[in-house]
Amino acid sequence: QEKVCREALSRHAAECKRTEKPFDAMVAFRSLGAKSSQEAFLGPYLSNEMKEKLELDILTFTMGFLSFPFPYAGGLKKALGAKDRIEKAIFKLVPKAREYIIGGNEPRCLLEH
């Protein structure tokens, strides 16, 4: 997780230096939280494409908590769809994690526990 945080902060610092403008910290830190959670929970099982998709779904799911609690339209409906996509992605990774642990290897992320 520390590596993810350092990379993100370095990227934002470089962007601020290049553009001479501040960055939107709220969006940046939500994104950072999503990335660090992915690394801790799913670690080595995520391709770059999966990381990007999951990050968007995690952010959509998070924003759903801030929306009007009506599940048929708007933010909450999108959040519920994102939750379903997150679950499907994780369920696809479980057999790989199980196989890794059954092989006698040490856990690298929470999915392997």
Residue 98, pLDDT above cutoff 70: yes
What is the identity of the amino acid at 11? Answer: R
Residue 1, pLDDT above cutoff 80: no
Number of H helices, E strands in the chain: 4, 0
DSSP state of 62: H
For residue 69, what are the contacts with CB-CB under 8 A and spacing of at least 6?
Answer: 76
**How far is residue 50's CA from residue 34's CA, in Å, rounded to a whole number?**
12
pLDDT in tens, 68-89: 777 677 888 899 999 999 999 9
pTM of the model as a whole? 0.75
